[in-house]
Amino acid sequence: MRKVLVTMLERYDDIEVVATAMDGVFALEKLERTKPDVVTLDLEMPRMDGRTALQRIVDDFQLPVILVSAHTSKGARATFEGLAAGAVDFVTKPERIFTTPLDSLSSDLAQKIRTAAKAKVRRPALRAPELRALRAPAAKEAPATEVVAIAVSTGGPNALSQLLSQIRDDYRPGILIVQHMPEGFTGQFADRLAKLASIRVREAEDGDVVASGVALVAPGGRHMELVRASGKLLVRLSFAPPVRGHRPSADVLFQSVARNVGSRALGMVLTGMGEDGAEGLLAIHQAGGHTLAQDEASSVVYGMPRAAIERGAVDKVLSLSEMSTYLNALEARHYPQGGSTWIA
């Protein structure tokens, strides 16, 4: 696998592989000598395991780490633990090294390395949020009439963990999330968020009713759109072509939210590379909805928020720690006693 990664990166003039290591002990020794800008790390290693090596790399060297993850349930779980421990992003190993076309993976890895080289390395909080047992869905979830739509990419797992863990358990809008993540990982990611949040969180299924106090995560590899049917807001999933390289695309979600909810929508763009979400957030803004972007200081990568701000799509720029407080307070103001009025 190390040879495959080196081969994939040799084609790029702006990327140089300065060293490889067969385990965490050798890796830490070589980091002292080579002083790289970015580290790719397999969590499955002999001697010093990948999790211990990751903690040392983040704590002692403050280097951005991209995890190389197995495309398995166990691999997904280890990946999310690694992201919570301070890794910036991840790529998946090809399932068949010698028969899988590597062009797409190579391009993805190279772009993530370029982004990671500019990312902010954040040590994890001393005390991680408490994981709860997964709760069964309520027997009858009330259909939502207001929607919060969230776009996020690099740095997103930790940002969403923090944001959703602080949302009130009686939150009334439905929440729709596009997190750029490969197919096969979003289900476990949604389960992990569900254990952190007071509201219900799950991976979206085609035809889901958007319900109050429920967050739906777009499945990897499928677009998620909002539609109206029989007086309810529903989720539609599709395998339509990627939009500017993304499926799911935040622009696809946001534009459907603007069409179907308009002024009763709140759009948010959080940390991430690229420009996905900027055009869609502008559509929500122009439809009379409210729009937020994460500030540069709290973003791991500021590409997506910056693009939305430069497009003139953002009403308010907030730090990540301010966002949940703002959402809770805003939602409380929207629902005065005896009424239900969305006020931007």
Residues annotated as part of the active site = 153, 180, 276
Question: Is the separation of the CB atoms in 82 and 24 below 8 Å?
Answer: no
Indicate the length of the chain as a whole number: 344
Q: Token digits for 79?
A: 């990946």
